[in-house]
């Protein structure tokens, strides 16, 4: 308890984004529909950063499975998941956050990986053990970008 207070004080004192408060994967509260109302971090998502995460093969690699006309400059858009043009018209931010964090709560049996989950995996490769695919801030950045996809 005391330690928490000291940590918080340090964050305030430094005022740095890298010390932003984040919600650990195990502490996330999913709504009944699998959505997540609260941001995973105290720093607003950065859509420009999110756009890079979307196409980065080592990060979100969302383009591997989804068509996204906003990225027409990129060749080879995947066909595994639904097209994301206008996705922000069809879904609320909380729903999309839930889908990014762990879409299996909403779509049972989906092929889509959970981008912010750090346990419960089977035979996970050692270097990824205990880790999430994206950081909390990366999820928020990605969400900020996806929310710009309106028709």
Partner 1 sequence: MKITSLLPLAFSIAAVASVVTAGEDSTLSVEGEVFVTKIAAPAHLENVDEIFSGWTYRRDETQALQMDDFENPSFVFIDQALDQFEMVEGSAGKACSSCHESAEVFSGLRASMPRVNSAGELETIPELINNCRTERMGAEKWKWSGGQMSAMLGLIGLQSRGMALNVAIDGPAASFWEKGKELYYQRVGQLDMACSSCHEDNYGNMIRADHLSQGQINGFPTYRLKNAKLNTIHGRFKGCMKNIRATPFKEGSDEFKALELYVASRANGLSVETPSVRN
Which residues are near partner 1 by CB under 8 A?
57, 61, 63-65, 67, 69-70, 72-73, 75-80, 111, 113-114, 121-126, 128, 131, 133
Nearest-angstrom CA–CA distance, 105 and 116: 13
Closest CB to partner 1 among 5 and 57?
57
In angstroms, give the least distance from the CB of 57 to partner 1: 8
130 sits in the region (left: phi over 0; alpha: psi -120 to 50; else beta) called left
Cβ closest to partner 1, residue 47 vs residue 67: 67
Contact status, residue 43 vs residue 137, Cβ threshold 8 Å: yes
| Distance of closest approach, residue 4 Cβ to partner 1, in angstroms | 30
79 or 92: CB nearest partner 1: 79
Nearer to partner 1, 13 or 72 (CB): 72
Minimum separation from the CB atom of position 62 to partner 1 (A): 10
Instruction: Provide the minimum distance between the beta carbon of 26 and partner 1 in the complex, in angstroms, as a whole number.
Output: 16
Q: What one-character DSSP code corresponds to residue 46?
A: -
- Among 22, 21, 31, 18, smallest CA distance to 97 is for 31
* 47 burial level (CB within 10 Å; 0-12, 13-18, 19+): middle
């Amino acid at each position: 308890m005391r330690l928490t207070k000291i940590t918080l004080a340090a964050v305030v004192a430094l005022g740095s984004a890298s010390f932003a408060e984040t919600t650990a994967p195990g502490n996330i509260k999913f709504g009944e529909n699998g959505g997540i109302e609260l941001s995973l971090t105290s720093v607003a998502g950065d859509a420009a950063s999110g756009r890079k995460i979307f196409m980065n093969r080592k990060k979100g690699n969302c383009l591997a499975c989804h068509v996204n006309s906003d990225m027409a400059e990129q060749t080879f858009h995947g066909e595994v998941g639904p097209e994301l043009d206008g996705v922000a018209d069809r879904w609320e931010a909380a729903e999309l956050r839930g889908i990014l964090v762990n879409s299996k709560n909403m779509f049972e049996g989906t092929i889509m990986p959970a981008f912010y989950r750090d346990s419960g995996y089977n035979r996970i490769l050692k270097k990824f053990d205990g880790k999430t695919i994206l950081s909390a801030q990366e999820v928020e950045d990605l969400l900020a970008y996806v929310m710009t996809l309106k028709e």
